[in-house]
Chain A
C-alpha cells in the first residue's frame, strides 16, 4: 500500500484527491437521477450549452466558478424553458442546439484568448492545479446539488417512474425538471476544474449505470454511485501519478479518472452478462 500514500504525499496531489472525492461523490449521487430519467443525452446537451457561458465568464470574471455559475444557471434556465415549449424534445433539435452552443463557445474563446490552452482547460479540466478556493467552491456547489436532490428525492423518483401520474396529481413537473437541471449545472461547475465540461458527463451517468444491475432502489443507486465515483477518482489519480513518476508517461489525470470509471462499467457489464448466462443455464 506504499504506493497509495506515496502518490498523495505531495500537496497538489492531496488537493487533487480531495476535489476528485467531492466531485466523484456528488456526480455519483446525481447520476442515479440522470439514469432513472434516461437523461444522458439531455445531460450531454446541458453540459455543452453551459460551455459558451462558462467560456465567456472565464474571460470576464475571476474566480472562474462564480462567472461559470451565473452563466451556467442562465443557460440552464433558457434551455429548460425551450424544452418546455417542446421545441427541443426531439433528439435532433437537442443535437443541433448542443453543437451550436459549443461552437459559439469555441468561437468566443478563439477570438479572445490564447486559444488552445484555455479551451482545453475548460473542456477537460486541470485537476493538478486546483487550489483551496476551488475545493471550497466545489464542496459548496456539490453540497447544494446533493441537498437539492435529497429534498426533492421522492418527487424526482415519482416523476421518473410515473410521469403521467405525477402530472395528474398536480405536481409542478416543470419546476421539478428545472430543479434537476439546476442540480446538474451545479455539478458541472463544481467539476469544471477537475474534469472539465466534456468529461463531466461520465460523472453524471457512468457511476449509476455501473451500479444499477446490482442494487434495487434509487437510494442504493445514489450511494453506490457515489462510492464508484470516489473510488474511480482515487484509482485514476494513483495511476496517473505512478505512470508519471515510475514510467515517465504523462496521462491527463481527469481523463484517466473517467477511463477508470468506464473500465469498471465494462467489467460490471461483463459480470452481469456472466451472471445472467449462468442463471439461464441453471434454470433450463
Chain B
C-alpha cells in the first residue's frame, strides 16, 4: 500500500505532465484558499455555488466561439452577478430562492448548449469535473498570473473587505462605498472561479473556495491567520489530490475535492472546541460556562 503511494508520488514528481497538473491544482488551491476566507466572512458559499453553475454556459459559449475559456466564462459570470443583483431588486423573493432559480437555470442553459454540439458526454463531464491532467504550460502561467493579481487585491483591500463584511451598515454610514467593495469582490470571485473551473470543474471549484477557508476557521479566531492557513491547506489538497488520484486511479478533480472535504470533516472532529461553525446559541452557552 505504502509502496503504491510512494510510487504515485514518484510518478507525479517525475512526469512533466503530472507535475504541471499538481502545480496547477496547488495554485488553484492557493487561489481558492485566499478568496475563500472572504467568501466565508461574507457568507457567500451558496452564491459561489450559484456562480459556478450559472457561469457554466459562459464556458460553453467561449469554447464554441474559440475564445479563451477563462476570459469567456469571466465575462458571462459578470453578467450573472448583475442578474442576481437585479433579481434581488425585482421580485419579492428571498435571496436564497432567487439564487436557486438562477443556479439551476444557468446549469440547464449550459447543458443545452453542450448538447447542441457533438461529443455531448465527454465535453459535459470535462466541464463538470475539470481536466487538470491536461494542463498546459500556458494554462499554468495564466493561473499563476491570476493568482498573483487576486492575492494582491485581497491584501490591498484587506481593511475595507473585513470592515464591510463585519458591519455593512456602519461602513456605509461612515461614507465608505460599501457596495463598490462588494461588487469589486464579486468580480474577483468570478475571475477566481473562471480560473478554477477548467482545472477542477464547475461543482468542484466550489470545494477549493469553501473547504480550506472553513477548515482554517476551525483552527483560528483571527482573519490574518486564516489568510495564511487557508491557502496552504488549499495547495496541499490540490497537489495531494492529484497524487491520490494517480494512486487510486480515480478522477483527479473529484479526488481533490474529496480530499478538501475530508480535511474539513477531520478538522471538525479534532480542532479546539471554543472555535466552531456551530450555531451561535450553542457556542455562546459554552463560552459562559468556560468563564
Contacts and interface: CB of A to CB of B under 8 A. Distances in A.
Interface string A92-120: 11111111111110110011000111011
A272 interface: yes
A116 B260 CA distance: 23
B111 interface: yes
A104 B241 CA distance: 12
Contacts of B39: 92
Q: Most B CB atoms within 10 A — which of A96, A97, A250?
A: A96
B23 interface: no
Interface stretch (A15-23, A169-177, A183-191, A195-203): A195-203
Interface in A246-260: 249-252, 254-256, 258-259
B100 A106 contact: no
B169 interface: no
B135 interface: no
Interface residues of A, number: 63
B204 A99 contact: yes
Interface in B208-233: 210-211, 213-214, 217
B120 to A, nearest CB: 7
Interface of B: 39-40, 43, 45-46, 48-49, 87, 90-94, 96-101, 103-105, 107-109, 111-112, 114-116, 120-122, 124-125, 128-129, 203-204, 206-207, 210-211, 213-214, 217, 248-251, 253-258, 260-262, 264-265, 268, 277-279, 282
Interface stretch (A6-14, A35-43, A69-77): A35-43
Contact of A93 (B92, B250, B258, B277): B277
Contacts of B124: 116, 120, 124
Contacts of A102: 203-204, 254, 257
A214 B277 CA distance: 38
Contacts of B43: 91-92
A202 B111 CA distance: 14
B54 to A, nearest CB: 11
A256 B112 contact: yes
Interface of A: 35, 38-41, 43-44, 48, 86-87, 89-104, 106-107, 110-111, 115-117, 119-120, 123-124, 198-199, 201-202, 205-206, 209, 212-213, 249-252, 254-256, 258-259, 261-262, 265-266, 269-270, 272-273
A35 B97 contact: yes
Contact of B101 (A38, A106, A110, A265): A265
A100 B258 contact: yes
